[in-house]
Amino acid sequence: MLNAHSILSVSKYALATAVVLSSAGMANAAGTLNIESWRSDDANIWSDVIIPAFNKSHPGTKVYFSPTPPTQYNSALQAKLQAGTAGDLITCRPFDTSLTLFENGYLDKLNDLKGLGEFSSVAKSAWVTDDGKDQFCLPMASVIHGFIYNKEIFKELNLSAPKTQDEFFKVLDTIKSESRYTPLAMGTADQWETATMGFQNIGPNYWKGEAGRKALLDGNAKLTDKPYVDTWKELAKWKPYLGRGFEAQKYSDSQNLFTLGRSAIYPAGSWDIQTFNNQADFEFGAFPPPVAKAGDACYISDHTDIGIGINANSTNKAAARELLNWMASQEFAELFANAVPGFFPLSNHKIAIKDPVAQEFISWRDNCESTIRNSYQILSRGTPNLENQLWNVSAQVINGTMTPEAAAQETQEGLEQWYAPQQ
């Protein structure tokens, strides 16, 4: 799902050296830092852009980026940590995976790290203990939800990017009436699309972002409340605008439908930007989830995705903290944002992004409040898993095999089975 684009040539020597160092157990040599990560797509960016930039101000520290394939990362990292061979810095997945590492003593507390002052509480929320007392990873990047649209189709049909829900459905009706293009490029076969690019995309405008998300955590709101039912009601209205056979359409099919110019609007995550940069031969733009009425407050899913922490057993913690403080800087924010379009730094710095569509996405932070996916912090720890439930019921609602009210009831009952504040 989260594909980064390699924009610069790979430094084979640097990458080979990183592998050799990791294999030889030399990561803790004096003046050397080794970074564990699943982001293999970013290897050249680290070796050719980020590390040289850091070394301009820290010439005495050698840094090596040593990625593991994404599907193997969790297990490989666990084995290295248990054996005492893991690198000095650990790239952190959001929420429970990294929290477990911290609770098991593998990640250092970062509470007094100066660079953390550059991040909001929302940005830091993916790597903080449940009680909010201990921070264990520095926020690095997020992905933003919204809609990507084919500008050529919009020009051909004399359409403008919609700002309200009424405008959104009028645009869809116009596209459908022309019969040449599928209005919305999304299928339900993979299920996660319907929750991630559907429910979690438009939902924050209904449950008021962080206020609504935290109310679920506190037990002061229920998934059967109006904001959640109304979110599924809007999703149910998408069915007539999806392509023929959308029930069998997978994520890659949705991407292809859009890049081939056969669909006008793609319910998106910013991680798709570079895929479309590579594959689409037309100009495309983006718009945020439309609000109910003009002038309403807007909320966007600005979801924390990548962090970085310090191995509790590192012998180079001072150098590691220097690197993390530099990664909290505006210099790093601009470097990373432009090297990996669609993955946005989480710091408070104002940065200039060169990719026009990525700039559209990040500009929404100026006018809309950011939140994260409401199922990711704590609420998917039990059985049934809320995230998996949201996938299933959101797909069924769009398919027309489940009512919005039934989706709300099923997810609420599932949460009540194990989550005390909801009982």
**DSSP-derived secondary structure for 318-349:** HHHHHHHHHHTSHHHHHHHHHHSTT-EE-BS-
Selection from 241, 268, 289 nearest residue 398 by Cα: 241
Residue 313 · residue 102 · CB < 8 Å: no
CATH number corresponding to 144-301+373-422: 3.40.190.10
Q: What is the pLDDT of residue 6?
A: 35
Q: What CATH homologous superfamily does 12-141+304-362 map to?
A: Periplasmic binding protein-like II (3.40.190.10)
Please, which pLDDT band fits residue 31 given cuts at 50, 70 and 90? confident
How many residues make up the chain in this entry? 423
Query: How far, in Å, CA of 141 to CA of 412, rounded?
Result: 31
Q: Is residue 210 over pLDDT 60?
A: yes
Q: Which phi and psi (to 5°) does residue 301 adopt? A: -80, 105
Alpha helices in 237-316 (DSSP H): 251-259, 273-279
Two tokens, residue 337: 């944002």
Find, among 260, 254, 144, 148, the residue nearest to 194 by Cα: 254
pTM for the full model? 0.86
Cβ–Cβ < 8 Å for 246, 254: no
pLDDT single digits (tens) 285-337: 999 999 999 999 999 999 999 999 999 999 999 999 999 999 999 999 999 99
Q: Which of 164, 174, 152, 145 is nearest to 241 (CA)?
A: 174
| Band of pLDDT at residue 32, cut at 50, 70 and 90 | very high
Tell me: the pLDDT tens digits for 4-15?
A: 333 333 333 334
Q: What is the pLDDT of residue 25?
A: 36
**pLDDT tens digits for range 102-138:** 999 999 999 999 999 999 998 999 999 999 999 999 9
Q: Are 254 and 196 in contact (CB under 8 A)?
A: no
Q: Which two tokens stand for residue 143?
A: 């992905």
Average pLDDT over residues 167-172: 98
How big is the chain by its Cα radius of gyration, in Å?
22
Rounded to the nearest integer, the mean pLDDT of the chain is: 92
Strands 138-150 and 263-269 come out as antiparallel
pLDDT in tens, 254-284: 999 999 999 999 999 999 998 999 999 999 9
Q: What is the pLDDT of residue 169?
A: 98
Domain residue limits, the chain: 12-141+304-362, 144-301+373-422
Cα angle, residue 336 at apex, residues 331 and 338 outer, rounded to 5°: 100
Q: At what angle do helices 330-339 and 317-327 cross, to 10 degrees?
A: 70
Q: Do domains 12-141+304-362 and 144-301+373-422 have the same CATH topology?
A: yes
% of residues, the chain, pLDDT over 70: 93
